[in-house]
Amino acid sequence: MTQKIRLTSDEMRYIALFENITGAVANDCIIDDKRDRIIIIVKPGDTGLAIGKRGSRIKILKRMIKKNIELIENADNPIDFIKNSFAPARIKEIRITTRLNNKKVAVVNVEDRDRGIAIGKNGRTAERTRFLAKRYFQIDNVIIV
């Protein structure tokens, strides 16, 4: 995580609302209008607090902002972060390599029965993971095998 992330005023408002409702700490917020969702990166260990008992806190937040909310637990290293981004899919292995053209690529080996979960409906989960891997760890592509 070498680069600084700049937040818009809307993203800062969503973070403040999220933290007030859930009591969890948000490290980042991405507004994805194309997919009508808010992606919130949560401090490690705060995901359960953010969701609440039987999803109560996250449901309140969804009703307030009228958008889907996706939570991802932050991690200091790219392998754990990518695993968290694909949760609840079971990951066998993640390899990060640098290609000849200096592009970093993460190859994610997923359990066969969880491949659909890892890809997500219309590729939403895979797309989100590629975006976040680039944003946080300068990984140019995430390939699911």
Asked if residues 108 and 79 have their Cβ atoms less than 8 Å apart, the reply is no
Q: Are 62 and 94 within one domain?
A: no
CA-based nearest residue to 41, from 11, 71, 12, 83: 71
Is residue 28 helix, strand or coil?
strand
With respect to residue 118, please indicate whether it lies within any of the assigned structural domains: yes
The residue range of the domain holding 109 is 78-144
Query: Per DSSP, what are the bridge partners of residue 65?
Result: none
Q: Are 69 and 103 within one domain?
A: no
Q: Are 67 and 89 within one domain?
A: no
The count of domains in the chain is 2
With respect to residue 2, please indicate whether it lies within any of the assigned structural domains: no
With respect to residue 84, please indicate whether it lies within any of the assigned structural domains: yes
pTM of the full structure: 0.89
Tally of CA atoms within 13 A in the half-sphere of 67 that contains its CB: 17
With respect to residue 49, please indicate whether it lies within any of the assigned structural domains: yes
Task: Give the pLDDT confidence of 75-108 residue by residue, as tens digits.
Answer: 999 999 999 999 999 999 999 999 988 899 999 9
Q: Are 32 and 90 within one domain?
A: no
Whole-number pLDDT of residue 1: 46
Q: What average pLDDT does range 20-49 have in this prediction?
A: 94
With respect to residue 4, please indicate whether it lies within any of the assigned structural domains: no
CATH number of the domain bearing residue 91: 3.30.300.20
Alpha carbon 31 to its chain's center: 12
Q: Are 45 and 62 within one domain?
A: yes
Whole-number pLDDT of residue 3: 61
With respect to residue 27, please indicate whether it lies within any of the assigned structural domains: yes
Whole-number pLDDT of residue 2: 46
Is the bond into 78 cis (omega within 30 degrees of 0)? no
